Amino acid sequence: TDQEVASKEDDIAYESYRKMPLEECRKLRIFIDKRHEAVILPIFGMAVPIHISAIKNLSMTEEEKGALLRINFATPTISTIEENENRVHLKEMVYKSQSRLPLQNALRLIKDLQKRFKTRQQELKQMEN
């Protein structure tokens, strides 16, 4: 089953839905939760947490009216796919808004969180060595 396939080493954003920042979720805007190392994405009325480790890179495109924020997620390459793997991976999402500033802020906060997370991972590795 899917549960068995999911690696135990995977980082978890929230142990349960109740632990999500529910007031922030209600706004239906991209929200960065530093403490949980998670980015909450509004997707058709649901507040969808994504652990920062699952985000590969981001980019922003300015348009005449507003901007686009492109989020690329980490996906396995065909050569690293496990034998029993049969899954769908979210690979990319593009958000559009007439207001550039909130998207610019989201991009900056996500990049900051990525840096913090990578630094922490390196520190953990060094301690293990």
Partner 1 sequence: VEPPPAAAAPPVAIIEVRDIFLIKRGEPMRATAKFAPHGVSIRIRDTGKVDTVQATEVREARWMPVARQNQLRLRLASGGFVIMDNIPNERKDALRSLIDNNYSTPLEMVEPCSKGWTYGAEKFDGSILTFLVDGKPAFEIPLAAVSNANAQKNEVSLEFHEVENDEMDAQFIESMRFLVVDAAEENTK
- Residue 74 beta carbon to partner 1: minimum distance, rounded to whole angstroms: 7
| Tokens found for residue 35 | 């403490």
Cβ of residue 105: shortest distance to partner 1, in angstroms?
11
Binding site for partner 1 (CB under 8 A): 1-3, 6, 10-17, 19-20, 25-26, 28-30, 38, 42-51, 54, 68, 73-76, 78, 81-99, 102-103
Residue 96 CA: distances (Å) to CA of 42, 73, 76: 12, 17, 27
Smaller CB separation from partner 1, 84 or 126? 84
Residues 41, 47, 51, 57: what is their CA dihedral angle, to the nearest 10 degrees?
-10
What does the block give as tokens for 26?
């209600």
Q: How far is the CB of 99 from partner 1 (least distance, A)?
A: 4
Residue closer to partner 1 (CB basis): 10 or 128? 10
Q: Is 69 in a helix, a strand, or coil?
A: strand
